[in-house]
Structure 1
Amino acid sequence: MTDAPPALLRRALLAAGLAALAPQARAARGPVVTVLGDSITAGLGLSAQAALPAQLKLALQRLGVDAIVRGAGVSGDTSAGGAARVDFSVQPGTSVCVVALGGNDLLQGLDPKTTRANLDRILRRLKQRRIGVVLAGLKAPPEIGRGYARDFNAVFPALAVAYGARLYPDLLAGVARSRAMNQPDGVHPNARGVQVIARGLAPVVARALAAAE
């Protein structure tokens, strides 16, 4: 057998390399979803595979939606922290941002007006950047005070209406106060709880992605 000419050999190797890279390139395609949040979205106490960004990607895939899901959760972050870093954390190319902040505001007993002002800054900035928004709300327990709970709970639907954002009313629906769904601290979802959150959130994110196309 005669040796192939060097130019031919190079082309053959290049073609083989491109063929090998094709599945990876396909896997990397798709709209980008960024999850801006706190320790719940960061996956405190969980592996990266069990955390919300990875589980949301899987839940979207089950709905037939291929997306790149980027985690932008910082443990301990309040709505003020999210507002301060929104441009840095929500990178260019994001189609939809899931805004899941306010839990630490609630734990610290911050004035709901302050939480609303901070979330307003985040949503306004995302709108300016033409990024679709899914706003994940939270339900304050009545034990914290009925007036406070009422005012806090009202923040999320009001902002969703003001900015035309899609609302997921309660990030912890089906998970809060469940021993089976939470880590021993009773605050942070375990792997099973995160799966419940991802399944509930995914259809709302899918609709937001469809609207952003």
Structure 2
Amino acid sequence: MMLGVGALFMSQAAMAAKPLTVLAYGDSLMAGYQLPPGTGFAPQLEKTLKAKGRAVTVVGAGVSGDTSTQGKARLNWVLAGMKTKPDLVILELGANDMLRGQSPATARANIDGIVKAFKAKGVRVMIAGMRASPNLGAAYVREFEALYPAVAKANGVALYPFFLDGVAAQPKLQLADGMHPNPKGVTVMVQRILPAVERELDAIR
């Protein structure tokens, strides 16, 4: 009987220690645009989580310039190329749709489709939202910014409202283009989103 209990405890410990895989899926904000190796979002998030004692691998799957349409189109190809199915995806898309003035309705449909595709494969999803530039007009801003909470609510997934929280409009935390984070900016982003990511990882455990 004692051997059985011991085996059970060992099995539980093994499950608890099983490394989790997080997929950082998005555009240039996930790709580490113009940043030195190891300073982008995925490597900084992995380093921070490991420093907190979590057995986690964060895989970067950001492509600079991707719209939500392009992000949706490459989804199956990305998953097919992964050695391990991700346990959690942080989904960040839509910024390029907005910068090009493309339809928020199209972005909403694409992001909804991506969320559903991940969920169908048993992957937990957290949406990282984006804000729209005021010069696009109040009506566009309202429709665009509303798509993220709407998709999250419809699919029952977590929402991190603004991926660039703490970095937007902060020149010292941005590259010269005024849009992308520099390494210090990424550090701020990681610290801001960390509690939400840890909640999702705990839910998986």
CA–CA distance in structure 2, aligned partners of residues 98 and 114 of structure 1: 20
* Long gaps (5+) in structure 2: 1-17
Letter paired with 2:47? L
Residue number in structure 1 paired with 2:89: 97
Aligned to 1:69: 58
Unaligned runs of 5+ in 1: 1-28
Is 1:110 matched up with 2:102? Answer: yes
* Match among 107, 118, 128 for residue 136 of structure 1: 128
Residue deviations 1:58-106, cap 9 Å, x none?
2223443221000000010000111111122243420000101111001
Aligned match of 1:179: 171
Q: Corresponding residue for 2:73?
A: 84
Alignment of 1:1-213 (within 5 A): 30-90=19-79, 91=82, 92-213=84-205
Q: Report the Cα distance in structure 1 between the residues aligned to 2:166 and 2:49, rounded to whole angstroms.
A: 19
Superposition deviation, residue 155 in structure 1: 0.4
Superposition deviation, residue 152 in structure 1 = 0.3
Report what 1:21 is aligned to: none
Larger radius of gyration: 1
TM-score using structure 2 length: 0.86
What secondary structure is seen at the aligned counterpart in 2 of 1:94? coil
Inter-partner Cα distance in structure 1 for 2:115 and 2:131: 20
Deviation digits for residues 40-75 of structure 1 (CA, Å, limit 9, x no counterpart): 110011122101001111222344322100000001
How many residues in Structure 1 have an aligned counterpart in Structure 2?
A: 186
Q: SS of the residue aligned with 2:23?
A: strand
Separation (CA, whole Å) in 1 of partners of 2:167 and 2:57: 25
Q: Distance in 1 between matches of 2:40 and 2:101?
A: 26
Cα distance between partner residues in 1 of 2:201 and 2:154: 19
Distance across 1 between alignment mates of 2:56 and 2:41: 14
Cα distance between partner residues in 1 of 2:183 and 2:203: 30
For residues 68 and 48 of structure 1, the distance between their equivalents in structure 2, rounded to whole angstroms, comes to 16
CA distance in structure 2 between the partners assigned to 1:173 and 1:155 by the alignment: 18
RMSD, aligned α-carbons: 1.5
Segment of structure 1 superposing worse, 141-150 or 128-137: 141-150
The answer as to whether partners of 1:57 and 1:66 remain within 8 angstroms in 2 is no
Amino acid at match of 2:45: L
Residue identity matched to 1:100: E
